[in-house]
Amino acid sequence: MTHPLLIIGAGLAGWQTVREFRKLDADTPITLVTADAGDFYAKPTLSNAFGQKRGPAQLVTTPAATIAQTLNVTLLPHTRVTAIDSAARTVQTSAGVLAYRDLVLATGAQAIRVPLAGDAAEQALSVNSLDDFGVFHQRLTALGEGVRVAVMGAGLIGCEFANDLAGAGYAVTVIDPADRPLAALLPPTASVQLQEALTGLSVQWHLGATVQAVNRQADALALTLSNGHTLVADILLSAIGLRADTSLALAAGIACERGIVVDRQLQTSAAHVWALGDSAQYASAASPGAPTGRTLPYVMPIMSAAKVLAASLHGTAASLEFAAMPVAIKTPALPIVAHPPAPGQLGQWVEQALGEWWFASADLPERAHGFVLTGPHTSKRMALVKQMTATATVAAT
């Protein structure tokens, strides 16, 4: 009996691996296990759906049954994996024990939740999946117009939600311990541009502060902040970041650090077990500040990794090398494209023009190790990617 290629997770990483593998092998049985329905959707659309007046059903691009039939996959939806036995090559699930030829961990990331005091702390919502978005969407639409939304976190997802919700007519307040939005990704002057643009949509800010407690106040929520202020909101959205879901791998004794450690072929420390996506820590993304690799929770790294993983699973020699992959931040009030420098890269942000910044070192100021573009300058993204690629090639020779 031929055991299947078994994939845990029906997000982009899981389904894209299937797509790439089917280009190489039409016959090997594939079983995909997922805790949700398995419908295919683009996760980035979760943070700009309200402005486009799209609900959960409209975000599904391919229903689970359709994509499973098209790709010749045995889909086990609403099934939880509870344990992995890499020596026996089996997994324990809520549907029973499954044997595998090879196992792919595409378990994604979990929303980081901070402890909150108060009698309504459990009311804080996170949106990290289509099911999460369904709860958030239902709660917002049930409240009607004039809803006050407090967003914990002024990072990428928090700012995208703030722009989307404010643009859709909701009253938005953003709370973050940093002194500016997207502080970890943007140079200070770019952060100022973004803050001013979102303020123009009536977004309110409480920077340099965190939410300490959430209490019921009639039909609303009273938020107590670390700076002593109190504000009232109808909904609290927690968008303070994601953490790779390594729980299954850790319990199985598979090496994990910030994510599930994989080599350049996407193999984990266990034979016949592979990983990619938001749960993986890629050796191919090592840098001076992350010598054993790093996580890359974005779309383009998944697309690159899925091709290499499919080749590895097919027995074809392949090695993952990441090209320059800038991130488009979905804040229409101020379009932004960012390519942050690798962790540990020495240098500083240098403003080339209003709306264009390079991360350059003192010894090579003409070379960009990263860049940020805003507004009309976002049209320069491909030119800067080519420049970074060319100079990196020269430096390596």
For residue 389, the model assigns a pLDDT of 77
As given in the structure block, the two tokens for residue 26 are 């039409």
Q: What is the dihedral of CA 36, 41, 43, 45, to 10 degrees?
A: -130
User: Which alpha helices (H) appear in 242-339, and where do they start and end?
Assistant: 247-251, 299-314
Name residue, tokens 């990428």.
156
Name residue, tokens 């890359």.
296
Give the Cα separation of 140 and 49 in Å (integer): 13
Is the per-residue pLDDT at 275 higher than 90? yes
Cβ distance 4 to 74 under 8 Å? yes
Residue among 214, 143, 160 nearest 46 (CA): 160
Is the per-residue pLDDT at 393 higher than 90? no
Beta-carbon count within 10 A of 186 CB: 24
Q: What structural domains does the chain harbor? A: 5-110+243-314 (3.50.50.60), 113-240 (3.50.50.60), 327-396 (3.30.390.120)
What letter represents residue 249's amino acid? A
DSSP character at residue 211: E
For residue 395, the model assigns a pLDDT of 46
For residue 62, the model assigns a pLDDT of 97
Reported as a pLDDT band with limits 50, 70 and 90, residue 1 is: low
Collapsing DSSP states into helix, strand and coil, what is residue 200? coil
Is the per-residue pLDDT at 394 higher than 70? no
Reported as a pLDDT band with limits 50, 70 and 90, residue 363 is: confident
Q: Tell me the percentage of the chain whose pLDDT exceeds 70.
A: 98
For residue 392, the model assigns a pLDDT of 54
Task: Please provide the average confidence, as pLDDT, over all residues in the chain.
Answer: 95
Residue-wise pLDDT for 150-167, tens only, equals 999 999 999 999 999 999
Residue-wise pLDDT for 14-29, tens only, equals 999 999 999 999 999 9
Instruction: Provide mean pLDDT across the span 371-394.
Output: 84
Name residue, tokens 């927690």.
238
For residue 390, the model assigns a pLDDT of 67
For residue 368, the model assigns a pLDDT of 86
Give the Cα separation of 130 and 124 in Å (integer): 17
As given in the structure block, the two tokens for residue 103 are 């196992």
Give the Cα separation of 315 and 242 in Å (integer): 33
Q: Tell me the percentage of the chain whose pLDDT exceeds 90.
A: 91
Reported as a pLDDT band with limits 50, 70 and 90, residue 397 is: very low
Name residue, tokens 């703030």.
162
Residue-wise pLDDT for 289-342, tens only, equals 999 999 999 999 999 999 999 999 999 999 999 988 899 999 999 999 999 998
What are phi and psi for residue 124, nearest 5 degrees? -65, 130
Beta-carbon count within 10 A of 236 CB: 22
Reported as a pLDDT band with limits 50, 70 and 90, residue 248 is: very high
387 or 293, greater pLDDT: 293
CA-to-CA separations, 154 to 186, 264, 370, in angstroms, rounded: 12, 33, 21
Residue-wise pLDDT for 66-125, tens only, equals 999 999 999 999 999 999 999 999 999 999 999 999 999 999 999 999 999 999 999 999
How many degrees, rounded to 5, is the angle at CA 396 between CA 392 and CA 397?
A: 125
Is the per-residue pLDDT at 396 higher than 60? no
364 or 294, greater pLDDT: 294
Residue among 259, 314, 313 nearest 108 (CA): 259
- Strand partners for 231: 223
